[in-house]
Each structure stands twice: as structure tokens, then as C-alpha cells.
Structure 1
Amino acid sequence: MDSLTGRTAVVAGGTRGASRAIAVELARRGAYVYVTGRSSGETRSEVDRPETIEGTLELIGEAGGHGTAIRVDHLEREQVRELATRIDAERGRVDILVNGLWGGDNYIGWDAPVWEHPLDDALRMIRLSIDAHMITSHHLLGLMIRRPGGLVVEVTDGTAEHNAAYREGTSLGFYVAKAAVHQLAIGQAHQLAPYGSTAVAVTPGWLRSEAMLDHYGVTEDNWRDALTTVPHFCISETPTFTGRTVAALAADPDKHRFAGQTLSSGHLAQIYDIDDVDGSRPDAWRYIAEVEQPGKPADATGYR
């Protein structure tokens, strides 16, 4: 589990959910992890959740890892430039960049057509996704190309196939914000290839994030109680599942074979023989396509 020892990772938006778990699992494998985000101490982002970057750092310590938490608003160019300058001075390079930035939960507007969805909300989602990711890559990838073997992970929602076509019930702003991340991975993979580095997009499945558990009024210990009202939640997975699969990808010396692809946690789990914390191996996107969307009864048999 020390396969990333000596590597420097930046997990942008590592405050909660999949990005938090990725930060922890990268550190568990030995990487030194910079955790950045807007929720720090008494300061909360517009998501207004209690999780903080310092909380992520505590989890890294509990996992036996090491890192630093730095409050950064990745839409503020000068803050990201200062982050890059600090990492350059302290570590001299970036080996792994996880663009886990989002924070658009309050603006999604499910089922609202573009002419009814508040325009400011739609544009804010696009800024939080596309603009923040671009600003972060602009300032940090110059530190990555100094040495071959670097990896950019663009965290998104949905596989390339699933988000290539519009999803029923999805607001246009959310669709554009998430679908564009696939293109960011493709473009960065091409630009990084001459330097021996690569980029991919990664999507969790149906994530049992802190916010999702709160939304259904359950905890990780009793999450199955939510199945009485949301039966298809049976295919859900912990953030740790995504964290484990991304850490395995980062440690793979042949990871460039995935350049420009969108990979799901379920797909990576099959490749790297990884299970979730309960010993199961959920394949959420295949389940969604084959069971939930066709309207079949909820049954995760054969999908975890």
C-alpha cells in the first residue's frame, strides 16, 4: 500500500464525498496530499455543509497518511496561482491532480427546462465546473509536466455514453457542466501525452455521500432503510469505493492506456480487483442502464 510514496497529489475540492475519499486513499498509499476547497473552519461554501478540508486532513492522518489543507476558491485565479507557487516551493512538482471541484448542488433544478431554470443558477453551475477546472489545470499542470508519469483525474457524473445524450429530468445547466468534463479529459490527455502524463475522467456510481445519506435520513450503518422509499438505492456505493479505485489507477504504471477515457468506479474495480468496504463490488452505471431506466423492479443481484 506504499505504491505512491514520494508522489505529490492535489485534490481540488477534497472537502466531502468522492473527492474526500480519493484524498484519503491516495494518502493511504503514500502520496503527500494537498487538500483544497472553500469550506474551512468557520467558513462554509455556498453548499453550506459541515464538512471541511481540515476534516479531510484528519481522516488522512487516521489512515496513516500525510498532507496539508489549504483553503482555496478555485474560481479565484490569484488564489490558485498562489497555491501553485506554494506547492512548487514545498514539493517542486505535482504528480497527481484530482479536479473534484463542484459545489453546484443548490442550483441543479431537476426537471426545469432552460427557459424556466433561473439563468444565474445554470451559469453558476457551469462556472463551478468548467471554469474552476480550467483555472486549476492552467496553474498546476506546469508543475506536472516536469516529470513523466503524471495523472489528471477529472471527476464527473455519469459515463461518457450515459452523458453523451441528454438525460431525462436533468436541467440543461447541470448536463452541460458535467458532460463538458469528458471533453476536458480528452483535451488534457492529448496535451499531456508528449510529456509522459495523461488525463482521464472518473465517475462514481450512486454515491452514499454525506449529503445523500442526510437527504434520505439515514447513516452509513443503516443506509438500507432508505430502500423502502428509494428501492434502486440498493446499488449505491461508498465514497471509499471511488477513492480506492482512483488510488489504484494512480499507482498503475500503465495508466496511460486509459488516456482521455471516462472511467467509472465499477469499471475500475473490475480492472484492479477492488471491493467496497462491505466486500461487494457495485456496478452502478450498468445497473442504472439495465434495471432502473427500463423500469424493472429494484434488484442488485448480479450487479454487486
Structure 2
Amino acid sequence: MTTETHTDKPLSGRIALVAGATRGAGRAIAVQLGAAGATVYVTGRTTREHRSEVGRAETIEETAELIGAAGGTGHAVPTDHLEEAQVRALAERIDREQGRLDILVNDVWGGDHLARVGEVNTMWEIPLAEGLRMLDLGVRSHIITSSALLPLLARTPGGLVVEVTDGTAESNRDYRVNFFYDLAKSAPIRMAAALAHELGPVGSTAICVTPGFLRSEAMLDHFGVTEATWRDAIATEPHFAIAESPVFVGRAVAAVAADPDRARWNGQSLSSGQLAAEYGFTDTDGSRPDAWRYIKEVALDGADRTAQEYR
């Protein structure tokens, strides 16, 4: 029987690490965990002094400040998750300062500029260095992070590992964008399943979570809109009507973390829309978009339905 207490801060006393929290889903997950009471360490490569190869201006310091503004405690730790020494130093710092780790969110990516989404590129047309870099960013970085942090997380029963990807186990059975992107985004689903097998016996849970059509900072910029005016982009891309804010997946992860029965999800691939239906949270506009169901039934299978029916 659980002794966890549900309050307006259900994650009070919990220690979380969101690896890859500079922007997008990672930033929103970190903020929502902090708003629920967790102390959140946030990592990434872009700081106020250094910009990563992604080239965007969002920083991990800003993410930590947003956590504070939401009522939580955030610690920004510049970390390149492809550098084992940096990641092990991060683990040692969390152990030294907190003595435990309850939630590990593995959201490291930063490879969209290499993915060439929307273009048709066969495996042999993509420069090998670019393809292997995608695998480094989306797979190797996750492995290094888990190797360094799981000994700390597994020390205390009840831990949660969240692999973040693009796509569900069902959707990722089909070809995604190109050879390297397909591998990079399918791997976290399998990682969660494998880690679930290994963490279950020590009382911890591993899952994979995906947002739907994410209104990330980069996506908003791509369409030339803001979060306030995002619906203007529907005229250019009708499927954008099903888009969700990053807050939605943030609330999804926070809901699972606060669930005393979260072990029922162990090893599963879950979407923000699926978890919203289960836990009852909404996006910032009060809707519950189910993008992956919409993509399958309308965008791919041609059902005569509207995006509004999936919100």
C-alpha cells in the first residue's frame, strides 16, 4: 500500500532531472514537475554564454527561472550528454546535494536541423556524418545518461524514468522521415521497454512518452506565428489544427510522476493525448488534443472527420 500524499504539490520532496530541458517538450516537462513541487535539475548545451549547434537562443537558465516562476525549484547545469565525464559529474552533484533521484526524464535530442523533415532522402543520400550525428544525439546520449544516473535512481524504490520521443510504438512501426531519424525516434521506445524489465524488480518504472503535433518554439517560428496566434498557421497547414502546446506533454509527465499506481504503465509507449484521457488534465486552452489518433484516422486513413473532433 502506498503512503504517497496527494496535495496541490504532489511531487513535494521529489528530485527530478530533465535531460535536454533547454526548450520544447523538455522545458515544459521541467516546469510542470517544478510546479507540482519537485526540485528539478535541468540540463542542456545552450546557456547564456554558449549556444549549441541547434542555433536557437533558448537557454537552460531561462528554464530554471520558469520553474521558479511556477513555484518550484530549478537548478540549471550545463551538460553535453554525449560527454560521459560531464554526465557522471552531474550524477555526482545530484547525489551530493540531494542524496537521491526520483524522476529521470531523458529528452535529449537537438537533431531537427539534421533530420530534413519534409524532404525525401534515402539513407545513402544523407551524408553519413549527419546521420550518425542524429544517432549520437537521439540514442547514444540517452544511453550515457541512463548509465550514469540509474544507479542513483534505483537506490530508492519508486523511481520513474521517462524516455521522450516523437511517435508511439504503433506509429513508429511505419517509416518515419528517413533511415536515421526513424532509428533515433524508435530507439527510445525500445529503451523504455528494456529498462522497464530491469527496473521493475527494484521497484521503479520506465515509460516512453511522446507529444503530438508540438507547438515548439521552432515550430511556431517555422509557421511565422506565436503561441497566441498559432491558429493562423492552419491556413497553411490544416493538420496544425490538432497541434498542442508543450505544456500538454509537461502535464502528462507530471501526472504519471504523481500517480502512486504508475507502475501499471511500466514499459509502455504513451502519448500526451492518451494520458490526458486517463488523468483528466487539459492543454492550456482547455482542450485534450489526441494528435496521434487524428494522424492515423484522418491524415493517414482518410476518415471524413475534423481536427475539432479530436480535441
The alpha-carbon deviation at position 58 of structure 1 amounts to: 1.1
After superposition, residues 4-43 of structure 1 pair within 5 angstroms as: 4-43=11-50
Residues 1:138 and 2:120 are matched in the alignment: no
After superposition, residues 76-87 of structure 1 pair within 5 angstroms as: 76-87=83-94
Separation of aligned partners in 1, 2:226 and 2:64: 22
Letter in 2 for 1:70: V
1:211-239 superposed Cα distances (whole Å, 9 cap, x missing partner): 00000000011111111110110000000
Letter in 1 for 2:291: A
Separation of aligned partners in 1, 2:120 and 2:281: 35
On the 8 A contact 2:65/2:74 being kept in 1, the answer is no
2:269 aligned to 262, 267, 270, which one? Answer: 262
TM-score, normalised on structure 1? 0.98
Partner of 2:243: 236
Partner of 1:247: 254
Partner of 1:279: 286
Separation of aligned partners in 1, 2:53 and 2:95: 30
Residues 1:125 and 2:134 are matched in the alignment: yes
Separation of aligned partners in 1, 2:228 and 2:291: 20
2:168 aligned to 159, 183, 186, which one? Answer: 159
The alpha-carbon deviation at position 298 of structure 1 amounts to: 7.5
1:8-36 superposed Cα distances (whole Å, 9 cap, x missing partner): 00000000001100000000000000000
Letter in 1 for 2:235: T
On the 8 A contact 1:292/1:298 being kept in 2, the answer is no
> Secondary structure in 2 aligned to 1:199?
strand
The alpha-carbon deviation at position 246 of structure 1 amounts to: 0.6
Partner of 2:215: 208
On the 8 A contact 2:25/2:211 being kept in 1, the answer is yes
Letter in 1 for 2:295: I
The alignment covers a number of residue pairs equal to 302
Separation of aligned partners in 2, 1:294 and 1:140: 41
> Secondary structure in 1 aligned to 2:51?
coil
After superposition, residues 156-195 of structure 1 pair within 5 angstroms as: 156-167=165-176, 170-195=177-202
The alpha-carbon deviation at position 124 of structure 1 amounts to: 0.4
> Secondary structure in 2 aligned to 1:278?
coil
Separation of aligned partners in 1, 2:112 and 2:199: 31
Separation of aligned partners in 2, 1:98 and 1:256: 16
Letter in 2 for 1:130: V
TM-score, normalised on structure 2? 0.95
The alpha-carbon deviation at position 45 of structure 1 amounts to: 1.0
Partner of 2:109: 102
Residues 1:115 and 2:132 are matched in the alignment: no
The alpha-carbon deviation at position 297 of structure 1 amounts to: 6.9
On the 8 A contact 1:232/1:299 being kept in 2, the answer is no
- 5+ residue gaps, structure 1, are none
CA RMSD in angstroms comes to 1.0
> Secondary structure in 2 aligned to 1:227?
helix
